[in-house]
Amino acid sequence: MKRGNAIRLALIALLVSLALSEVLIPNAPSISESSPGNNTLGMRLGLDLSGGIHLVYEADLSEIGNETAAEAMDGVVDIISRRVDAYGVSEPIIQKQGGDRISIQLPGIKDMQAAVNLVGQTAELDFRELTSESWELVSQFIDQGLQLDYETLTQEGNIEWIPATAIDSDGQEVHLTGKYLKRETYVEIDQNTNEPRVRFEFDGEGADLFAEITGRLIEKPLGIFLDDEYVSSPIVRSKIEGGTGVIENMNLDDARDLAILLNAGALPVALGHWDRGTFLSGPAVQDEVDPTLGADSLKKSLIAGVIGLILVLLFMALFYRLPGVLAGCALIIYGILVLAAFKLIPVTLTLAGIAAFVLSIGMAVDANVLIFERLKEELRAGRTLGGAIEAGFNRAWTAIRDSNVTTLIICGILYWMGNNFAEPRVMGFALTLAIGVALSMFTAIVVTRTFLRLFVGTGLAGRLWLFGAQRPEKTSGSEE
């Protein structure tokens, strides 16, 4: 064996060993630990395999102030990521799609409404006080000993709330809102009522504003609103100096969700969807995937892939004989390298991605077919095995290069279109196919070629039938 070929073989063996260790060691949990589509190799599974919810929102960028649209969208992604992480979703996928769209994949989540509320709510908290006329009406109710329901009175329009304001450090009158909150809000249980409540704390500036406001609202209600919706209105019993307060009258799930929203912060822009020039609440796209269906699809896809691979290996071995067997070994190496690449990047595996992976296997076989046909032609022409190998690879290379480069260009176009139209399945197909095509060229040109060179100069080199070729017999005319 030549030294150069021995070095290449050693490097291939090292690369395969590293890739195999990456594939077999489950160093990354799957998207949903409890999903029926869970896998032992730690591959990241998309929603169509693991189950979950997919949402796509459009942003209203008409009132973003001094920041750019890109900065506003980056802020949206950051805040949604904090909300989803706090909610406990394992490995969510949150991506900008085009200039004004956000794609959110929430594996393992089954409650569509909870997901919509978590992601799409602006979460702008603000504090308000009653107008003088409304307070007079409330005072009359109190004097009559009536039980007050501030929420009903607010919803029916019987009382009116105005922003609770105070003087800040710059001498300006400002509205007390959630922007002054520390991100340390949490849920606690009231020891007296055994009911959940949300405890919040203001920063230094907010604490001063809160103290001034509560100081003038003693024995009056302080309205707390979230996205212009009434939440509660606790009665202020004394001036609050510490900058802390509580939000009551909600169940445990609502209290937990509110704490998550307040800690993540308010969205810089409204999320919803455009319909004939009108901006409406709610996602533009919402899909719910059954994890049982995903697990069944994954199982059937893997079975189909294994059957197809076995048939391809048998065909190559029977038709091309020894080179076909070597190509089969190269295909196995190709599969290991692709799976390792999927985990390292990492790639979120979807049904479309599996289809692209299987397609790339066919393209890898196609490259070997081109090479082996050229190899057989060179052997029939009378070249030695070494010369036929080099000539066959060199002459087949241009066709392999052109076909694969064309495919990579198409992959780039598909990825761009999937990104702009918020279609992650198209993006996954394009990325998976591109990885497969690139690695198929490596295995066909480098790995298979190295394996074939092992037989140059051996006793097998003269047995052309092992390579699917046979030199034409000389005719009587040629002997003359």
Residues 6+ apart with CB under 8 A from 97: 56, 103, 419, 420, 421, 422
Closest CA to 95 of 117, 118, 77: 77
- Over range 439-454, report the average pLDDT: 88
The backbone torsions φ and ψ at residue 397, rounded to the nearest 5 degrees and listed phi first, read: -60, -40
* Residue with the larger pLDDT of the pair 381 and 73: 73
- Residue 470 confidence (pLDDT) above 70: no
d(CA 71, CA 5): 53
d(CA 52, CA 351): 15
Question: What pLDDT sits at residue 197?
Answer: 92
Question: What pLDDT sits at residue 292?
Answer: 64
- Over range 357-380, report the average pLDDT: 85
* Residue with the larger pLDDT of the pair 138 and 307: 138
- Residue 209 confidence (pLDDT) above 90: yes
Strand (E) or helix (H) holding 377: helix 351-380
Q: Which of 3.30.1360.200, 3.40.109.10, 3.90.209.20, 3.40.50.300 is the CATH number of 125-251?
A: 3.30.1360.200
- Over range 218-223, report the average pLDDT: 94
- Residue 37 confidence (pLDDT) above 60: no
Least confident of 66-75, 216-225, 293-302, 418-427: 293-302
- Residue 323 confidence (pLDDT) above 60: yes
**pLDDT confidence tier of residue 183, bands split at 50, 70 and 90:** confident
H-assigned helices in 226-290: 252-264
- Over range 200-216, report the average pLDDT: 94
- Over range 231-238, report the average pLDDT: 92
Alpha carbons within 13 angstroms on the beta-carbon side of residue 400 total 29
Closest CA to 53 of 99, 120, 122: 120
CB contact at 8 A, 108 and 114: no
d(CA 348, CA 132): 58
- Residue 27 confidence (pLDDT) above 80: no
What SS3 state is found at 420? helix
Question: What pLDDT sits at residue 225?
Answer: 94
Residues 6+ apart with CB under 8 A from 42: 25, 26, 27, 28, 29, 30, 343
pTM of this prediction exceeds 0.75 = no
Where do the domains of the chain lie?
Answer: 3-43+290-470, 52-122+283-289, 125-251
Q: Kindly report the average pLDDT of the chain as a whole number.
A: 85
Question: What pLDDT sits at residue 28?
Answer: 42
Question: What pLDDT sits at residue 156?
Answer: 92
Question: What pLDDT sits at residue 471?
Answer: 56
Let me know if domain 3-43+290-470 sits in CATH 1.20.1640.10.
yes
Q: In the CATH scheme, what is the code of domain 52-122+283-289?
A: 3.30.70.3400
